[in-house]
C-alpha cells in the first residue's frame, strides 16, 4: 500500500526494467546522450570535440515522434521507468544547450514534453528529475542472483560520467539502506499496543536506543562524504545537471497546456528516509507549533515550506507513508509518558547532530565551492553573473546555510523540556 519493502525500504526490490517496443527509442537515446553530451557551460577540450554530436542529438530529439503513453499501460513500474528515462533525457537536453540558446525561455520540445507531462500526471510527480529518479530508480544489480546491497548495485545514468557523481548516488543509497533498519523501528513503535504499560515503555526505550545508533550511522555516512565525493567536481560538474527551471530561462513545455509545475530539480532533501525521521519525531519545519526557543530572524527568513515542498517530489505512496507516520503523534505520546522523555530527547539530539554535520558538508560542497575555480578540464565556464549567483543557492533558491540552519534549529526545538 505504501510501497515500502521490508528488505529494501523505499528502493524497489528489483531494478526497473528498460522500456520496450516503440519506447526503446528513449532508452537508446539516453545511452547515446551519456556519450555525446556535456554541460552547455563547459568550455573544455572534450566538450568542444563533442559539440557537433551533441547538437545532432538535440536536433534528433526535436524530430522524434510524439509517443502515446497510454500504450505503456498503468503498471507502476513501467510508468516509473518512463519518468526516470524522460527526466534524464530532459536534463540532458536542457543542460547541454549552449547558454546562447537559453535566452529568455528554455523550450522543451514536444516529443519530450508531451509524454513526460502525461507520465508525471499519472504518477502525481512533477515533470522534472527527482531524488527517486537519480537514486531509487537508477541502478541495476551487479549480480542479479544476490540481494540488494551497496556492493551489489551499479548506478547507470551518471550525467557527468564522474566517479564523484556516481559516489554521491552511492552515498545516498547507503543512507536509504540504513533507512530500512530505521523504518522497522518506526513501525514497531507506532504499532505497539498499549504503549504506556511498563513492558511497552521498556520496548520503546530499546527502540529509541536502536534508532540513535542508526542516526549516528547516517551522520557518519554524510560526515565521510568527502572521502569519495570530490567537492569541486560535485559543485561544478555534477550538481548543475540536477538543476530545475530557474528564474533566468524558465522552462516552457511545448504542446502542453500552460500549468504551474513544480520544477525545482533533484535534491537529497527529497529522500523519504530523512522525512520519515522528521515525521516520527514530529520536527516542526514549518514553524506552526510555536515551540521554544522562538525562531531567530535568520530562521524566519528561511523557506519554512521547503520540507513540505520536497514531499511533492516523492512517489505518491511514500508521501502517504510519511503522512500516516506523522498522524501517530509519537511526540504527544512521549509528552504524556515522562518515562520516555529522556530516550526521545536522545534521539532528537542525534538528529540535530546529523544536521550539524550536514551544515558542515553543505558549507564545504556548496558555499566554499561557489568561490572556487572550476576543474581545469572544463575551461572558463560560460555563465552569467545571475546564473553564478543562483548556483550557490539550494534547490528552490534559498541560501544554503540559512535553509540548513533552520532545519537544524527546528530539530533542536523538538526537544521536550522539563515541565
Binding-site residues for heme b, in ranges, read 358
Q: Which helix (H) or strand (E) holds 399?
A: none
Choice between 156 and 404, CB closer to ligand HEM: 404
* Residues near ligand HEM, by CB under 6 A: 168, 171-172, 175, 218, 222, 225, 229, 267-269, 271, 274, 355, 358, 361-362, 365-366, 394-395, 400, 403-404, 407
Q: Which is nearer to ligand HEM, 214 or 218 (CB)?
A: 218
Distances (CA, A) of 180 to 7, 282, 323: 7, 19, 18
Q: CB count, 10 Å around CB of 143?
A: 8
For strands 251-253 and 106-108, give the pairing: parallel
| Minimum gap (Å) between residue 373 Cβ and ligand HEM | 19
The 3-state secondary structure of 116-139 reads HHHHHHHHCCCCCCCHHHHHHCCE
Residue 342 makes CB contacts below 8 A (sequence gap 6+) with none
Whole-angstrom Cα distance, residue 235 to residue 375?
10
Q: How far apart are CA 327 and CA 337, in angstroms?
A: 18
Nearer to ligand HEM among residue 96 and residue 395 (C-beta)? 395
Closest CA to 14 of 147, 125, 155, 134: 147
Per the annotation, where are the binding residues? 358
Task: Give the Cα separation of 228 and 234 in Å (integer).
Answer: 11
Cell digits of residue 154: 551499479
Q: Which is nearer to ligand HEM, 112 or 153 (CB)?
A: 153
The residues that bridge with 265 in the sheet, in sequence order, are: 243
Smallest distance from ligand HEM to CB 245, Å: 15
- Residue 231 has a CB neighbour count (10 Å cut-off) of 18
Q: How far is the CB of 53 from ligand HEM (least distance, A)?
A: 31
Helix intervals (H) in 224-253:
231-233
Query: Least distance to ligand HEM from the beta carbon of 274, Å?
Result: 3
Give the whole-angstrom CA distance, residue 13 versus residue 231: 31
Helix axes 45-62, 24-36, angle to 10 degrees: 160
Q: Which is nearer to ligand HEM, 27 or 210 (CB)?
A: 210
Q: From start to end of 43-172, where are the E strands?
A: 106-108, 139-141, 153-155
Of residues 120 and 369, the one with the C-beta less far from ligand HEM = 369
Shortest Å distance, C-beta 171 to ligand HEM: 5
How many angstroms separate the CA atoms of 178 and 216, rounded? 10
Nearer to ligand HEM, 80 or 358 (CB): 358
If the CB atoms of residues 30 and 400 are measured against ligand HEM, the closer one turns out to be: 400
Amino acid at each position: 500500500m505504501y510501497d515500502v519493502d521490508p528488505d529494501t525500504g523505499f528502493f524497489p526490490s528489483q531494478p526497473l526494467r528498460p522500456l520496450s517496443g516503440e519506447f526503446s527509442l528513449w532508452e537508446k537515446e539516453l545511452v547515446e546522450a551519456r556519450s555525446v553530451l556535456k554541460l552547455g557551460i563547459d568550455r573544455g577540450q572534450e566538450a568542444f570535440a563533442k559539440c557537433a554530436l551533441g547538437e545532432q542529438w538535440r536536433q534528433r530529439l526535436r524530430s522524434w515522434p510524439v509517443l502515446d503513453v497510454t500504450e505503456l499501460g498503468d503498471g507502476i513500474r513501467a510508468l516509473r521507468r518512463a519518468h526516470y528515462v524522460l527526466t534524464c533525457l530532459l536534463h540532458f537536453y536542457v543542460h547541454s544547450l549552449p547558454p546562447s540558446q537559453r535566452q529568455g525561455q528554455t523550450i522543451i520540445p514536444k516529443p519530450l514534453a508531451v509524454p513526460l507531462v502525461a507520465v508525471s500526471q499519472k504518477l502525481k510527480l512533477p515533470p522534472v528529475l527527482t531524488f527517486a529518479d537519480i537514486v531509487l530508480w537508477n541502478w541495476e544489480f551487479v549480480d542479479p542472483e544476490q540481494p540488494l546491497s551497496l556492493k551489489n548495485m551499479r548506478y547507470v545514468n551518471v550525467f557527468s560520467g564522474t566517479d564523484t557523481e556516481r559516489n554521491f548516488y552511492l552515498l545516498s543509497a547507503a543512507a536509504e539502506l540504513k533507512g530500512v533498519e530505521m523504518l522497522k523501528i518506526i513501525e514497531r513503535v507506532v504499532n505497539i499496543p498499549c504503549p504506556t504499560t511498563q513492558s511497552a515503555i521498556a520496548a520503546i526505550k530499546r527502540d529509541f536506543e536502536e534508532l540513535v545508533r542508526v542516526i549516528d550511522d547516517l551522520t557518519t555516512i554524510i560526515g565521510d562524504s568527502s572521502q569519495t565525493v570530490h567537492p569541486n567536481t560535485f559543485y561544478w560538474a555534477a550538481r548543475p545537471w540536477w538543476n530545475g527551471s530557474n528564474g533566468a530561462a524558465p522552462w516552457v513545455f511545448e504542446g502542453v497546456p500552460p500549468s504551474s509545475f513544480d520544477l525545482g530539480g533533484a535534491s537529497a532533501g527529497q529522500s523519504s528516509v530523512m522525512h520519515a525521521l522528521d515525521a516520527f519525531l514530529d520536527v516542526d519545519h514549518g514553524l506552526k507549533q510555536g515551540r521554544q526557543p522562538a525562531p531567530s530572524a535568520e530562521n524566519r527568513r528561511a523557506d519554512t515550506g521547503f520540507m513540505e515542498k520536497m514531499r511533492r517530489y516523492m512517489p505518491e505512496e511514500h508521501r502517504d507513508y510519511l503522512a500516516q507516520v506523522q498522524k501517530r503523534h509519537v511526540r504527544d505520546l512521549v509528552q504524556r509518558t515522562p518515562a520516555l522523555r529522556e530516550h526521545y530527547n536522545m534521539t532528537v539530539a542525534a538528529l540535530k547532530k546529523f544536521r550539524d554535520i550536514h551544515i558542515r558538508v553543505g558549507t564545504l560542497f556548496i558555499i566554499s565551492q561557489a568561490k572556487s575555480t572550476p576543474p581545469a578540464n572544463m575551461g572558463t565556464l560560460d555563465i552569467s553573473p545571475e546564473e553564478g549567483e543562483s548556483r550557490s543557492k539550494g534547490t528552490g533558491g534559498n541560501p544554503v546555510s540559512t535553509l540548513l540552519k533552520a532545519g537544524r534549529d527546528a530539530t533542536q526545538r523538538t526537544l521536550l523540556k522539563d515541565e
